Amino acid sequence: MTTRWPWKRSSNLNRLVVACTNDSFAYVEASIDLKRPYVIKRCGLERRGEDSANAFARRIKALKLPIQGVIAVLPLNRTQILQIEAPAVPPEELKAAARWRIKDLVEAHLDDLTIDVMRVGDGRPRTLQHLYVIAAANAAIQDTTTLLAAAGMELAVIDICETAQRNLQNAFSDLQGRREQASAALMVHESQCLLTISANEEMFYTRRLDWDEGVFGHQPEARVPGTSPSFGQEVLSQQVLESVDIVDYSEEVPEFGNAHDTPRLVIEIQRSIDVWERSWPDLPLANLTVHAGAGSASLASIIKRDLGLPVEPMDIPSLFPGLEASTVTAEVLEACVPLLGALLRQEVRKL
């Protein structure tokens, strides 16, 4: 099976982006043209419930959504994204070389994965060039393809949460006149949250962090004057995502808060910012935007308290007229937010 990844320009002025699992179908239909913002025509979330697979597909077909050029965003837990040093091979051999490089790093057998590659950053001169290797579960792609086909739809493009999020933060940077500056974004995806850093419309850095709603109830504890306990030296999960030019996980974490007065999430964000500042000193971070549903403003406030960086919640409706409608419930909006960035990319991706 051949699957195209992001993606070629479409002449269709209506775009449908979906996310499919065995139990749910989220969708966003928008009217798109060269002039933004794109207008959301409708969005929704269908739960399978007790339906058979065929009955669920018939229910989706009855929505009368666009049937051609459908873009599907895979759930965060059905993909991996790994960073490697770019192999010194011709472009047509990159995928094969990358596949060999990651064979001991992926969480599944290579035969069960679809592999693609994407350049890290915007191509500025570096001593070492890196690639992102995207590994998507074949089963996730097959589940999506099967459901859409049963509903009479044609899957055109597969996208992932990292690039969709990059597109959202790039749109915010454009609104703020900061296209060439580096910006960070943090979005919650069920039990994980996704951190990305982008500049010049390209993604330079990504990392997945554990999410714990207990962060909202975290209260600072009094610290004994003159003491400053260190956080410790835990080995991070997803280490390979941090493998930019100068990272040494054997060294002690720089002093920053402590386990008593700073939530673990904030400490890990700071660690990522430290990596960024050492690795890309010519691209200082301008700001961090966060999305955690109804808790976005609270999370932004908690993070801002400890980071020396402007932090603000994502004002997603400002990018997409139509999302303010009272018919868009909080549950639907949260299911559809990962899809919105997939509306924004039009050009062919360059390696």
Residue 346: per-residue pLDDT: 60
Where on the phi/psi map is residue 49: left (φ > 0), alpha (ψ -120 to 50), or beta? left
Please enumerate in sequence order all residues whose Cβ is within 8 A of that of 49, keeping only pairs 6 or more positions apart, or say none: none
Burial 250-261 (b: 16+ CB within 10 A, else e): eeebeebbbeeb
Between CA 284 and CA 310 the distance in angstroms is 12
The answer to whether 165 and 344 are in contact (CB under 8 A) is no
User: Could you tell me how far CA 9 lies from the centroid of its own chain?
Assistant: 21
Sign of CA dihedral 306, 300, 279, 238: positive
- 281: three-class secondary structure by DSSP: coil
pLDDT in tens, 276-287: 999 899 999 999
What's the mean pLDDT in 257-273? 82
- Side by side, the strands of the sheet bearing 311-313 are 202-210, 192-199, 182-189, 285-291, 311-313
- Res. 79: pLDDT tops 90: yes
Between CA 141 and CA 122 the distance in angstroms is 28
- Res. 113: pLDDT tops 90: yes
* Domain locations in the chain as residue ranges: 14-159+321-343, 177-314
Length of the chain: 351
What's the mean pLDDT in 316-329? 78
Chain-wide mean pLDDT for the chain? 82
- Ranking 219-228, 265-274, 329-338 by mean pLDDT, the lowest is 219-228
Q: Do domains 14-159+321-343 and 177-314 have the same CATH topology?
A: yes
- What does pTM read for this prediction? 0.82
Between CA 182 and CA 199 the distance in angstroms is 4
Please enumerate in sequence order all residues whose Cβ is within 8 A of that of 169, keeping only pairs 6 or more positions apart, or say none: 183, 184, 185, 196, 198, 289
Residue 148: per-residue pLDDT: 96
Between CA 311 and CA 185 the distance in angstroms is 9
The superfamily in CATH containing domain 177-314 is ATPase, nucleotide binding domain (3.30.420.40)
Burial status of residue 184 (CB atoms within 10 A of its CB: 0-12, 13-18, 19 or more): buried
What's the mean pLDDT in 322-334? 79
Between CA 303 and CA 341 the distance in angstroms is 23
- Side by side, the strands of the sheet bearing 14-20 are 39-47, 24-31, 14-20, 70-73, 155-159
Could you tell me which CATH number the domain at 14-159+321-343 has? 3.30.420.380
Greater pLDDT, 37 or 44 = 44
The answer to whether 208 and 192 are in contact (CB under 8 A) is yes
Residue 11: per-residue pLDDT: 53
Residue 12: per-residue pLDDT: 60
Rg (CA), the chain: 21
- 168: three-class secondary structure by DSSP: helix
Q: For the CA atoms of 240, 246, 250, 252, what is the dihedral angle to 10 degrees?
A: -120
Q: Which residue type does 5 have?
A: W
Percent of the chain scored above 70 by pLDDT? 80
